[in-house]
Structure 1
């Protein structure tokens, strides 16, 4: 992990934020009193960029002191939170957090608030549409269970495969019941998927890794994941803290800033279509 930025601010939140929902007076007073730095672990993109925007534009006037730790994998942030190396993290959705809690150490984490959704997309360098995929085409997908199921849902929505409905959210490539074009579905570590594009016919890539690799600009987007009824509830990335720290004034202040209108606009303008901003009410903003 590396520290990417630190902002030291002592001023109370001004009227500039009032129209967007001012943070609590108590939190601002705590910051004025020289509260501790809030250490937040993030995936570099878009999470790190979003916090950097807050760091540079909102944190000081809100009286929030941030230390942003970039973490490039999905395994470290929760462990660092449990070990006390971080006060909060921002990289995961509820499905991933719940899966980690089931398989990880004895820990109690709280999902504080939704922030954004990184759409999974089916990308290819060799074909321009799903109809162009050849017989026996190889499609790489994320190998972590929470995102593997999402990837399969894209292929199913495009009519390429049928997945056993009994498998539910735990569906894997072994639950494919109909595969008329004999597609080869290959699970890989999510971070490796952009590099696999040249070696496979198509790949389902997480939004953050697609952005880092410039896939939306340099590859063909064959399909986006379908937005189901519980899309935000299941797949919005959000702010997470240990149960005992979830009500920490600094954590709650950051949660409010993450929903500031300027942050929502920044997300919309920076990652049009790939990252979807979610407001404080859990609604995707357009």
Structure 2
């Protein structure tokens, strides 16, 4: 009996060396509500077939995901573009880096009161996001629409103070990004990030103006600097940036969300 047990124990030891059990890699990812999370869920289903369990946390603002990532409550996040990440790092001292590009989620100009920007009257009211990078992004779209002119070369640092020409004498206010869809009942138009637009039932196809595919404001995957070469994170990013996820995104959102791969 003892010999049998000894043999069985030895056999199990050999098997464990030949084919060690591998637990699934668990990745905690943060994002914001709406299409960002929906695309992640689809990518997570694909990842589960390759030994990765994705745990998604959805946030309702743009500040907490980086706090959670820096405090090790998340392994990675996908909700921000590079200028926003750079601004957060500069202001808060986060030791975070981006490791890959994600989707382009166009910001757009929306209105419940007009159907075309040509209908805007002098003194019309408008809103933009109150965070520095998305505020600059919105102002650049205002300029593209011919509504304002910004100081030359101000770029991603543009603020309301950088407007040098405002022929319509627009009254521009800054609001929290999540509140912008609600502002449409009170203002003539607002610049709304696509995830919040979709969550509020707005139709991007009916936007007064949307960013185009040449936008540089693509989302990025951010991680703590020490994890920039983490194999499981890199594997998941590869799955996310796959033809399957690209096809899902294009079909599900009817071309309103753009991919960078």
TM-score by length of 2: 0.88
Q: Secondary structure at the match of 2:229?
A: coil
Say if 2:113 is the partner of 1:126: yes
Give 1:101's aligned residue.
89
Give 1:33's aligned residue.
22
Say if 2:208 is the partner of 1:222: yes
Give the whole-Å Cα distance in 2 for the aligned partners of 1:264 and 1:225. 19
Which has more radius of gyration?
2
Say if 2:192 is the partner of 1:205: yes
Alpha-carbon offset, residue 227 of structure 1: 5.5
Instruction: Indicate if the aligned counterparts of 1:44 and 1:71 stay in contact, CA closer than 8 A.
Output: yes
Give the whole-Å Cα distance in 2 for the aligned partners of 1:155 and 1:149. 10
Instruction: Indicate if the aligned counterparts of 1:142 and 1:188 stay in contact, CA closer than 8 A.
Output: yes
Q: State how many pairs are aligned.
A: 242
Alpha-carbon offset, residue 167 of structure 1: 2.9
Give the whole-Å Cα distance in 2 for the aligned partners of 1:227 and 1:134. 29
Alpha-carbon offset, residue 107 of structure 1: 2.7
1:130-179 CA-to-partner distances (Å, cap 9, x unmatched) read: 10011100011111111111111111111111111253321111111111
Q: Secondary structure at the match of 1:74?
A: coil
Give the whole-Å Cα distance in 2 for the aligned partners of 1:51 and 1:220. 26
After TM superposition, which residue ranges in structure 1, 4 or more long, deviate above 2 angstroms?
225-228
Alpha-carbon offset, residue 273 of structure 1: 3.7
* Structure 2 unpaired stretches of 5+: 1-19
Say if 2:34 is the partner of 1:45: yes
1:110-146 CA-to-partner distances (Å, cap 9, x unmatched) read: 2111110110110111111110011100011111111
Task: Tell me which moved more, 131-140 or 149-158.
Answer: 149-158
Within 5 A, what are the aligned runs for 1:1-286? 33-56=22-45, 58-104=46-92, 106-216=93-203, 220-225=206-211, 231-232=215-216, 235-279=217-261
Q: Secondary structure at the match of 1:125?
A: coil
Instruction: Indicate if the aligned counterparts of 2:213 and 2:258 stay in contact, CA closer than 8 A.
Output: no
Alpha-carbon offset, residue 84 of structure 1: 0.8
Change in CA separation of 1:253 and 1:188 when aligned onto 2, cut-off 3 Å: same
Instruction: Indicate if the aligned counterparts of 1:157 and 1:226 stay in contact, CA closer than 8 A.
Output: no
Give 1:25's aligned residue.
none
Instruction: Indicate if the aligned counterparts of 1:123 and 1:221 stay in contact, CA closer than 8 A.
Output: yes
Q: What is the alpha-carbon root mean square deviation over aligned residues?
A: 1.7
* Structure 1 unpaired stretches of 5+: 1-30, 280-286
